[in-house]
Structure 1
């Protein structure tokens, strides 16, 4: 790092699941609780499980950080829509890289990156913070369709000469990769004001007039000004070359062949960097988590913007009998989250669960495929009626629907809904056979929910 001074449940009626459709939704998805767990695990404050073994990652120095690299691979393996590259570049060095291909312009590449190696124990700020922010961006954006390709890169051996990023940058240059911007995150968790108290919350963007790095800086500031963040930017030009973004400035015939790149982190320019730099005093307890949270929201929002977030609404609306995908004009496949399997025949925009459980919908629109969060559908612990316990006739029906519930003596509630989930008719009965008049209802599909104190069931009715 530079050595100079100068964020579950989707239940109840009509509740939307929390997946992102816009940049603001992306910002709202950033989860400080999950990031704080990652920070503590990756800086060795708490133990974690890697490759099935309980480990404590106190030290991540380049000759002693293979388990840390495995931890990062494991984190990326939990995500969809990415390809993981475990890139060895010398005897000890390992870059851990995840690539999310763009749907429209896969050749256009934007990189968000951080180094994960250290010079001492713990090193929460330098650079578990940057590493955690990259993982959080990947967690959120990997659920989305993007026009452009995003590379989530975690570099090794930054602390001994930017070796990992240099290897990647030179290889990318030789391959002719169309890298349009590199956002390097290094030390973004310390602010001198007491955590959670009013302060300047300043952060640096280090750039130089190399390639379009100044334009990148302007774009980040545009995102900063377009949404609400508790942050204040400090522009640093010429910015430091002592972190991994500089590897992308230095490729090929400098400066003709350079890539656009900037560094974002806490404000060294105003002497507000951690006093525990490159020491084992760099602990989780010294971090300003609200400040780190704001910076992670900003960097994730920027990547969503340049990545070209595709506007697909992958949320679900729920009523007491019906789940409906918000996105129209698409293809749908409902999924049983408890078994992680598609539900046969459940390919309409709406789905009526026949039992309590967790459900999601896979939405395909053009070349984009997105999956909603799992929705908790609860029949309040009631058992389903057996097939022999309920008889509906005629079905299809023209005028009168008969509901026969043999040997049932307690009162039952009859609720008839249209295909949108709107309640059309409601009636209570304790009769063995009850008739519902559907004569004046339009032709189409309806759903009848039958509920007693012990049982429940929902049935598809066709009105001719």
Structure 2
């Protein structure tokens, strides 16, 4: 299923899209607001919508976590270019596996993984953080062409003996899967320094001298040193076997059949792990979100590197009259995001919309097909509202969103779009303050277009 994202209007010349031609572009797409919302939803701090029902995922213990697993399936279903396997392995256990097949070397497999089960309520650090980082890496990388295959794996029943990952590793070994590396994320959100303040920001990489695990560790550190991260690495050898990476170390005839695998997490080696370990005190409020953000950027950059990011630019440049795909020498198909349908005859690098709307372009270059973000295009060429002229509050919003107009305008039109570019609410009003009821809408990100006869503006809204 394709997911579109609406971008803000630009009157002169702007560049939009998830144009990841480089690892730095990938890093820049990691979104701390998305991480924050997902951790709060998955640890039960706020309710969410799963299969159309409003639920609160307070507990994810292995005999009580089907809703959590359904949430993960739903998250992956929103992405493009992946195949999802809901993998039961005993009466209660369910691994949720999403696979993005490589374009050049489909049999060369890299895994990024985390366990999602718990031993108590909430458990934000252990392991909503690792789970959220895997989802964020999948959200970003699934929009890109990669040479090699990436598996985004979320394990069940880690807390009672690594059962989910052992089942998968044993199957992979029996099938002869060519797994070149397993990056396991377990507890990556706690740092003893005051959240957001300068500190050591240390994290551990646990490894053994098995297969190429040491080489994996070196490659992660190479990525760390090649870009700007506020992190400091602690190398741990021999590393702990008390998490899911160990299932890949001890597969088959140990040590001859071991897969390359490492654990990345907060620094137990320096006694800087959460004091709320394995308790219901492990809440989102105890996390250092900037630290978690940095680690998620690092692991996403590493997976883009070993995945073999293909250099295709899926960005769009917008002028007053025209949308132009930034990638040259390719094939193009422009789409209407509101209908999710291709536009007949719109197959050139540039497209001139005849009506206002949301547009995207599908780019084919060699064996790589990438889809741009949706661009909200206004054919009227109106001026933007000044920041002082429109106030939108509260944001995030739970029930009623207010829009206050500070100058004398006869009439205002509000158009609310979801991230797929679908129009979900409309309202026209002549009042200075307009209220838009969002109570019935699912949690997530929306875009509000505010228009008058002379000006327009688009605002990102977070619905809690």
Counterpart for residue 227 of structure 1? 227
1:181 and 2:181 correspond? yes
Question: How much has 1:229 moved relative to structure 2?
Answer: 0.2
Counterpart for residue 9 of structure 1? 8
1:338-358 alpha-carbon deviations (Å, 9 max, x no partner): 111100000001100001111
Counterpart for residue 217 of structure 1? 217
8 Å CA contact 2:107, 2:148 repeated in 1: yes
For normalisation by structure 2, the TM-score amounts to: 0.80
8 Å CA contact 2:189, 2:291 repeated in 1: yes
8 Å CA contact 2:81, 2:143 repeated in 1: yes
Distance 1:168 1:310 in 2: 28
Distance 1:110 1:372 in 2: 25
8 Å CA contact 1:11, 1:375 repeated in 2: no
Structure 1 segment 180-329 matched on structure 2, within 5 A: 180-329=180-329
8 Å CA contact 2:44, 2:58 repeated in 1: yes
1:144-199 alpha-carbon deviations (Å, 9 max, x no partner): 00000000000000000000000000000000000000000000000000011110
Question: How much has 1:14 moved relative to structure 2?
Answer: 2.2
Counterpart for residue 93 of structure 1? 93
Question: How much has 1:381 moved relative to structure 2?
Answer: 7.7
8 Å CA contact 2:82, 2:99 repeated in 1: yes
Question: How much has 1:104 moved relative to structure 2?
Answer: 0.1
Counterpart for residue 334 of structure 2? 334
Question: How much has 1:16 moved relative to structure 2?
Answer: 1.1
Distance 1:10 1:157 in 2: 46
Question: How much has 1:13 moved relative to structure 2?
Answer: 2.4
8 Å CA contact 2:362, 2:372 repeated in 1: yes
Q: What SS does structure 1 have at the residue aligned with 2:120?
A: coil
1:24 and 2:24 correspond? yes
Counterpart for residue 76 of structure 2? 76
1:233-289 alpha-carbon deviations (Å, 9 max, x no partner): 000000000000000000111111100000000000000000000000000000000
Distance 1:9 1:86 in 2: 36
8 Å CA contact 2:8, 2:375 repeated in 1: yes
Structure 1 segment 272-421 matched on structure 2, within 5 A: 272-380=272-380
Question: How much has 1:17 moved relative to structure 2?
Answer: 1.0
Question: How much has 1:10 moved relative to structure 2?
Answer: 5.5
Counterpart for residue 57 of structure 2? 57
Distance 1:10 1:304 in 2: 30
Q: What SS does structure 2 have at the residue aligned with 1:62?
A: coil
CA 1:41–1:261 in 2, change beyond 3 Å: closer, same or farther?
Answer: same
1:272-319 alpha-carbon deviations (Å, 9 max, x no partner): 000000000000000000000000000000000000000000001111
Distance 1:289 1:10 in 2: 30
Distance 1:211 1:37 in 2: 37
Question: How much has 1:98 moved relative to structure 2?
Answer: 0.1
Counterpart for residue 425 of structure 1? none
Question: How much has 1:380 moved relative to structure 2?
Answer: 3.2
Counterpart for residue 108 of structure 1? 108
Question: How much has 1:11 moved relative to structure 2?
Answer: 2.6
Counterpart for residue 127 of structure 2? 127
1:425-450 alpha-carbon deviations (Å, 9 max, x no partner): xxxxxxxxxxxxxxxxxxxxxxxxxx
Distance 1:361 1:120 in 2: 46
8 Å CA contact 2:353, 2:379 repeated in 1: no
Distance 2:157 2:13 in 1: 50
Q: What SS does structure 1 have at the residue aligned with 2:15?
A: coil
RMSD, aligned CA? 1.3
8 Å CA contact 1:206, 1:240 repeated in 2: yes
8 Å CA contact 1:10, 1:17 repeated in 2: no
Counterpart for residue 459 of structure 2? none
> What is the number of equivalent residue pairs in this alignment?
378
Q: What SS does structure 1 have at the residue aligned with 2:16?
A: coil
CA 1:10–1:201 in 2, change beyond 3 Å: closer, same or farther?
Answer: farther
Q: Which has the higher contact order (CA 8 A, sep 6+)?
A: 2
Structure 2 unaligned regions, length at least 5: 383-452, 455-464
Moved over 6 A (4+): none
Distance 2:351 2:222 in 1: 41
